[in-house]
């Protein structure tokens, strides 16, 4: 009869027991801080909950009230407008900057460090710095624009027209992390592809579109998904610059309105409903991009 190697008291059984013991803190944290809030928020979204007391089960009433709320609709429009513009701009700016930083020069390392440094600045500090730089009266940006001959520079955060473009400008300030992924992707492309393209007579532009861009598409796909998720959850910068969403709710992003419902108005049930709407929208966009990736994402060896 063959003995069971995992019988009680065996070395394998003891190792498995200690494995469960060491994994227990992580498993407890996963259950307590992820799964419980996740599933409880579904229940709270169907109740009149103020953060302390559940005043009753309301079903889909929270969702119906949200779509009848004018500020909620405005926050969706602001967030989608920001995401639709800032994500493609960030992709183009990130790829072009990575190509420049990948050029073999003596000062390549210095430029790479300079490009990555803004990423190390916390979001709160970034918001305060740019709030001062884009100040309509005392800011350096408007001072430089005035020196260049522009007599009436933009009022930036004080104008409904210029508030979101200012946010898009700030978004390009912290692309250091995406630059690292782009440069890693560029360095991962074998030089043999470029040599073969040169032999076939391809110039710089054709090599970019026929070699660099297709082989860099997996990194672009990753940054596209992460960019959409980040832009849909934009919170720190607009909240620090304009906590009430002024001017005219132009700076009222979706995550800001969710926060106000939860902690200013104590409408936790409605905030939970907003969180699940955001989850469904982000998941839908991610699945759509993933479905389309088979047509434009190319992996080496395929």
- What confidence tier does 4 reach under pLDDT thresholds 50, 70, 90? low
Question: pLDDT tens, 117-133?
Answer: 999 999 899 999 999 99
Mean predicted lDDT score pLDDT of the chain? 90
- What confidence tier does 293 reach under pLDDT thresholds 50, 70, 90? very high
Question: pLDDT tens, 39-89?
Answer: 899 999 999 999 889 999 999 999 999 999 999 999 999 999 999 999 999
Instruction: State the pLDDT at residue 302.
Output: 59
Two tokens, residue 11: 């070395």
Asked if pLDDT for residue 259 goes beyond 90, the answer is yes
User: Where does residue 103 fall: left (phi above 0), alpha (psi -120 to 50 degrees), or beta otherwise?
Assistant: beta
The answer to whether the predicted template modeling score (pTM) of the entire model surpasses 0.85 is yes
Question: pLDDT tens, 218-236?
Answer: 999 999 999 999 999 999 9
Helix%, strand%, coil% for the chain, nearest 5: 70, 0, 25
d(CA 114, CA 269): 45
Instruction: State the pLDDT at residue 1.
Output: 44
- Angle at Cα 12 formed by Cα 6 and Cα 13, nearest 5°? 65
Question: pLDDT tens, 266-287?
Answer: 999 999 999 999 999 999 999 9
Give me the percent of the chain exceeding a pLDDT of 90. 64
d(CA 120, CA 127): 13
């Amino acid at each position: 009869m063959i003995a069971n190697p995992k019988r009680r008291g065996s070395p394998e059984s003891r190792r498995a027991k200690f494995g469960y013991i060491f994994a227990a803190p992580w498993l407890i944290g996963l259950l307590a801080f992820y799964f419980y809030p996740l599933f409880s928020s579904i229940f709270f979204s169907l109740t009149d909950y103020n953060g302390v007391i559940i005043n009753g089960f309301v079903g889909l009433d929270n969702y119906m009230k949200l779509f009848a709320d004018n500020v909620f609709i405005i926050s969706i429009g602001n967030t989608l407008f920001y995401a639709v513009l800032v994500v493609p701009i960030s992709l183009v700016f990130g790829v072009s900057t990575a190509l420049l930083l990948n050029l073999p020069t003596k000062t390549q390392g210095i430029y790479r460090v300079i490009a990555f440094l803004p990423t190390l600045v916390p979001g709160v500090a970034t918001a305060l710095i740019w709030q001062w730089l884009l100040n309509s009266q005392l800011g350096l940006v408007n001072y430089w624009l005035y020196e260049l001959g522009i007599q009436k520079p933009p009022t930036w955060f004080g104008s409904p027209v210029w508030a979101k473009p200012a946010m898009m400008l700030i978004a390009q300030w912290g692309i250091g992390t995406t630059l690292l992924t782009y440069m890693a992707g560029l360095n991962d492309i074998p030089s043999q592809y470029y040599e073969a393209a040169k032999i076939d007579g391809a110039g710089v532009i054709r090599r970019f579109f026929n070699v660099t861009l297709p082989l860099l598409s997996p990194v672009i796909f990753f940054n596209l998904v992460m960019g959409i998720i980040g832009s849909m959850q934009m919170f720190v910068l607009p909240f620090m610059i304009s906590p009430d969403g002024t001017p005219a709710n132009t700076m009222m992003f979706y995550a800001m309105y969710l926060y106000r419902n939860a902690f200013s108005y104590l409408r936790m049930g409605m905030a939970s409903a907003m969180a699940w709407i955001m989850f469904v929208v982000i998941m839908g966009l991610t699945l759509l991009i993933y479905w389309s990736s088979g047509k434009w994402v190319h992996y080496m060896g395929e």
